[in-house]
C-alpha cells in the first residue's frame, strides 16, 4: 500500500516512548507531522530527531503535533533517546513509535522493496485535522531532512487551506501569495478590493491573508 495525497491517514495503536499510543487520539484536532526512520542508533536520524525535539515549539505554535517511528523496540528507543539529547541538546519530547513488526510501516507504505526489502524509508507525512494526507516527502538514507522546509510546507498548507490561493517558488510566511487561476478577475475584485500585482494573466500576486 502506498498513501497518496488526499487519502485518509490510517489509524493505529502501538507502543511508543510515551506508552501505548493511538494515532487518532494523539492527533486530536491538530495537524500532524509524522516521520519514519529505518532503525535506531543511525547517524543521520539521530541528528533529525534531535532537531525536531529542539524546534518542537515552532510546531506547537502551528497547532501541529510531532510523531516519529522506528522499527526497533521501546527499550532501544529509550537508549537512543539519550544519544538524541546528547547530540541535539534537547530531550525527546514527542512519541517515537516502536514498529517492530512493521505494521504501521505497511499501512503507510514505508517499505520500498527496491531500496530495502525490510527497512522503512525515511518519509514525512503531513496530515491535516481531518486526517487527510496533504504532503509526503521521502528522503534517501544519505540526505538529512530540512526542518525549515518542513515548516515552510506546513505554513503553505495551513495558509492556503480552504482558500483559493497557492504559494510561489521559495515562498516564506509573510510573502505574497498567488490567486488561483480558477478565480476570475471579477471574483478576485470582490475578494481583494485593494487589487493585486499581475505578472501574467494567470499569475496574480496578493499579500497573504491575515491568519
Show me where the domains of the chain are located: 13-145, 165-206
| pLDDT score at 111 | 74
Catalytic site residue from 14, 27, 32, 45: 45
Provide DSSP, 148-191.
Answer: HHHHHHHHHHHHHTTSSEE--TT--TTS-EEEPTTS-HHHHHHH
Cα-based torsion angle of the residue sequence 153, 154, 155, 160 in order, rounded to the nearest 10 degrees: 90
- Give, in degrees to the nearest 5, the angle at Cα 19 between 14 and 20: 35
Residue 48 has pLDDT above 80, yes or no: yes
Given this model, what pLDDT does residue 2 score?
Answer: 76
Per-residue model confidence as pLDDT tens digits over 67-99: 999 999 999 999 999 999 999 999 999 999 999
What local confidence, expressed as pLDDT, does residue 122 receive? 84
Q: For residue 71, what are the contacts with CB-CB under 8 A and spacing of at least 6?
A: 38, 39, 98, 99, 100, 102, 105, 119, 120
Position 126 confidence tier, pLDDT thresholds 50, 70, 90: very high
C-alpha torsion 152→153→156→160, nearest 10: -170
Residues 22-38: tens digit of each pLDDT: 999 999 999 999 999 88
Q: What is the overall mean pLDDT for the chain?
A: 93
Give the C-alpha separation, 205 to 168, whole Å: 9
Identify the DSSP state of 109.
T
23 an active-site residue? no
Report the topology of domain 13-145: Glutaredoxin (3.40.30)
Of 136, 154, 147, which Cα lies nearest the Cα of 48? 147
Amino acid at each position: 500500500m502506498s498513501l497518496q495525497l488526499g487519502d485518509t491517514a490510517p489509524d493505529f495503536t502501538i507502543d511508543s516512548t510515551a506508552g501505548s499510543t493511538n494515532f487518532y487520539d494523539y492527533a486530536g484536532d491538530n495537524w500532524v507531522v509524522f516521520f519514519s526512520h529505518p532503525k535506531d542508533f543511525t547517524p543521520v536520524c539521530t541528528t533529525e530527531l534531535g532537531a525536531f525535539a529542539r524546534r518542537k515549539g515552532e510546531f506547537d505554535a502551528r497547532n501541529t503535533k510531532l510523531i516519529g517511528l522506528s522499527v526497533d523496540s521501546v527499550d532501544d528507543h529509550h537508549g537512543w533517546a539519550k544519544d538524541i539529547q546528547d547530540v541535539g541538546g534537547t530531550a525527546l519530547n514527542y512519541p517515537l513509535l516502536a514498529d517492530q513488526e512493521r505494521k504501521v510501516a505497511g499501512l503507510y507504505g514505508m517499505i520500498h522493496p527496491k531500496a530495502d526489502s525490510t527497512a522503512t524509508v525515511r518519509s514525512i507525512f503531513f496530515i491535516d485535522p481531518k486526517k487527510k494526507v496533504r504532503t509526503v516527502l521521502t528522503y534517501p538514507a544519505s540526505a538529512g531532512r530540512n526542518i525549515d522546509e518542513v515548516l515552510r510546507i506546513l505554513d503553505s498548507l495551513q495558509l492556503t487551506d480552504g482558500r483559493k490561493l497557492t504559494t510561489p517558488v521559495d515562498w516564506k510566511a509573510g510573502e505574497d501569495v498567488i490567486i488561483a487561476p480558477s478565480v476570475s478577475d471579477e471574483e478576485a475584485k470582490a475578494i481583494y478590493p485593494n487589487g493585486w500585482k499581475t505578472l501574467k494573466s494567470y499569475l496574480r500576486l496578493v499579500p497573504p491573508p491575515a491568519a
